[in-house]
Structure 1
């Protein structure tokens, strides 16, 4: 979905794929991967490209952001501090 939003934002701004790739400092192939939603490109690059075409990743309403932060804080307090895989007991009974 993010890739499609980026592609739509690029088209709305009248940018070619090469122009946007040049502005972002990436190859056209990487931009194509981002627009297709491929998992390969680094998240920072994806966020940068989204910013360049005006795709908002977060709501700008401060009160809604505070509400989301509060909910996340509540959720994080309920979750364990760390996650560990259960240790398997060795079955050495031959």
Structure 2
């Protein structure tokens, strides 16, 4: 069985992960919540929470967002107002509807030299 090749991440990605991990750890500690308590509330293992707080890039995005939501950390510069998130999502979907559904590379070169 082949070994998995380590994935390379940009510096920006690493910094963003470290920032979110630090924000999660700070908020958990400021709310005087143990790792076990938060992990139980989120429905994950304590070791998964530890990986999130250590900025492991292989953690599931949904789990990381759920942890942030449980702690009240604002994402996308929006408060806990789900209506604003819906509005932003609707705006993004409207933009996507104007773009082509598929992006295809032109495989055949057009000969237009008459």
Which residue of structure 2 lines up, in the alignment, with residue 56 of structure 1? 74
State the 4+ residue runs in structure 1 displaced beyond 2 angstroms. 79-84
TM-score (norm 1): 0.65
2:57 corresponds, among 12, 20, 39, to 39
TM-score (norm 2): 0.56
Query: Which protein has greater RCO, CA pairs closer than 8 Å, 6+ apart?
Result: 1
Give the whole-Å Cα distance in 1 for the aligned partners of 2:106 and 2:100: 17
Which residue of structure 2 lines up, in the alignment, with residue 27 of structure 1? 45
1:4 corresponds, among 19, 22, 27, to 22
Give the whole-Å Cα distance in 2 for the aligned partners of 1:3 and 1:20: 14
CA RMSD of aligned residues (A): 3.0
Give the whole-Å Cα distance in 2 for the aligned partners of 1:7 and 1:82: 40
Structure 1: gaps of 5 or more residues:
89-94
